[in-house]
Amino acid sequence: MSDFPSTRFERGKVFARTGLKMGTNYAKHYVRKSLNPKDEESSRNKLHTENANELFKEFSRLKGTALKVAQTMSMDQGYLPDEYVDVLAQSQYKVPPINKALVRQIIQKELGAAPEKLFASFEDEAIAAASIGQVHKAISKEGKELAVKIQYPNVRDTIDSDLSMGRAVLKRLVKGNIEEYFEEIRDKLLEETDYINEGNQINFFAKNYNTDRFATPEWIEELSTNKVLTMTFLKGKHMKEFLAMNPTQDERNNFGQLMWDFFHEQIQRGNMIHADTHPGNFLFLDDGRLGIIDFGCVKNFPPDFFELYLRLLPTHLHGDKVEMRQLYIDMEILKDKPDDTIHEEALTEFCYGFGDCFALPYRKGTFDFGNKEFENTIREFIKSAPRQAEVRGSRHFIFSSRVQIGLYRLLTELQAVIKTDEHIPIVEKKLLELRKENLAVSV
């Protein structure tokens, strides 16, 4: 099998082998449980750890769409056992790179010359590896530090086959039109594998957010293609490294506030949102700035959806349940005339409670994301969510939820204390602009 399994057959074999190994682990668990019932919890924890390690190992080999799934699973707030979250969190930092010879071949093919002819120096060892590609450090001929992202071979060609396997499984489990959700995921993955598109998005964020508070790379277009992306190098620490240094509360608060502000400044601009909110995409710089990297997954929400999404905050702050219910109906999450009224009532109460939980930080001048009660409340809400075998809501929820849940997850991990109430006017102002814009379009 190749360094990167790229055909449907090769990847199908990996998926099948993973399922078999996980099934074997389950069998071992039941044997241990029957032999020693008192040790059931320990056996179950071991089972989760073994299966999570198996998933991470094989997803790391598959890379691409499969590894994207692992990253999403690692940010789970309650569905998965903690052992899965802990192991799969490695997908944000620790992914095996492709071999050095293959890297050189890709650069030669894409840029027309060997690395030593293009750069003053090029490090063969990758400094980071992720789902779509890996990053190497280099020095330009002019002496500038660079980051060179190399896309894994054939990764773009695996998107459809991976998604088709996922679609086949999901269709057996849920009702409703899942095609638009898979189409949304496919569209974003195709964008992420187009490095020229990412280069243009880097330019946009560098122009608008490279300030005395935020830092972004700059695109080096002449050393980039669809499969090789060269940009200036940002030097900073990932969250894991930062927290390992036992930062002060003030340092935690500083970077937490910058994450919060970055989220709301994007809302204020309202056109392009960095939609891959996980720890691997943020750097904590020594000068106190927040570094933002990886602009492959950037979402431009349509105005009609964005207006509904922004209405969630003021609606929950006002606490009018009639208004809330109508909003969730408008968002196609609740049904006006449901067939199953008992389930719909449970889902309605869940929406009210979960929405209130996410609005809670805005109710005070400052909010402590280190409050374990708040973190546990979010977890419990997700665990207690009414299970329904039907997909609902807009396809755009995939990334709006990813951004907001990712943000709250990062802030709770930082245990940051954030000033929050000053951002309410930003949301309300943008909401008013969108209402006017959407009204003009409808007229």
Spatial contact of 170 and 178, defined as CB atoms under 8 Å apart: yes
10-residue averages of pLDDT along the chain (443 residues): 55 58 52 54 64 65 62 50 56 68 96 97 90 92 97 84 66 68 87 96 96 97 98 96 97 98 92 88 97 94 93 94 94 90 89 92 94 86 64 85 90 96 88 81 56
Q: What is the pLDDT of residue 381?
A: 75
* pLDDT of amino acid 155: 82
Q: What is the structure's pLDDT at 2?
A: 43
| Model pTM above 0.75 | yes
What pLDDT score was predicted for residue 77? 47
Q: Give the tens place of pLDDT for each residue, 173-228.
A: 556 677 888 888 889 889 999 999 999 999 999 999 999 999 999 999 999 999 99
User: So what's the pLDDT on residue 118?
Assistant: 98
pLDDT value of position 185: 84
305: number of CA atoms within 13 Å, CB side? 16
The answer to whether 327 and 316 have CB atoms below 8 angstroms apart is: no
First to last CA, the chain: 58
Alpha-carbon separation of residue 97 from 49, 107, 266, 290, 297 (angstroms): 23, 15, 32, 26, 21
Distances (CA, A) of 430 to 136, 303, 358, 396, 407: 39, 11, 19, 18, 20
**Amino acid (1-letter code) at residue 322:** V
> Which residues neighbour 362 within 8 Å (Cβ) at sequence distance 6 or greater?
313, 317, 420, 421, 423, 424
- In the block, residue with structure tokens 């977890």: 379
The predicted pLDDT at position 283 comes to: 98
